[in-house]
Amino acid sequence: MNHDLNSDEPIAGFLSTYGDALKRLAINDSGFVFDPMSGQSFSVNGSGLDLLRLMQKQGGIEQLKQAVLDEYDVSETVLERDLLEFSDQLRQYLR
């Protein structure tokens, strides 16, 4: 894959900053997410559930993007946009 480093920087920064918070989240199969440290809870849809679980498992942006590209029929451009949007939404809950 040929990635534009600048497009990966915000997502990589999010994973670096919130990696521990992502890993501590309790997530059930229906998309209910609970952060035991803050007491915050929220719900995600099916693709959000998959993405959140991948974010918990993957070590870095390249691994995350490849895992999503392997699983979903999506262009890299759309994936990067969706990852940015999803990470921006998650920031509300992971403070």
**Over the stretch 38-50, which tens digit does the pLDDT of each residue have?**
899 999 999 999 9
Tell me the per-residue pLDDT of 59-92, one tens digit each, with 9 for 90 and over: 788 899 999 999 999 999 999 999 999 999 999 8
pTM recorded for the entire structure: 0.83
**Helix (H, G, I), strand (E, B), or coil: what is residue 29?**
coil
Residue range(s) defining the domain that contains residue 27 = 5-91
Q: How many Cα atoms occupy the beta-carbon half-sphere of 23 within 13 Å?
A: 9
Number of domains the chain is built from: 1
In whole angstroms, what is the distance from residue 15 CA to residue 9 CA? 10
Strands (E), the chain: 26-27, 32-34, 41-43
Sheet architecture: strand order including 32-34: 26-27, 32-34, 41-43
Share of the chain above pLDDT 70, in %: 92
Written as one letter, the residue type at 59 is G
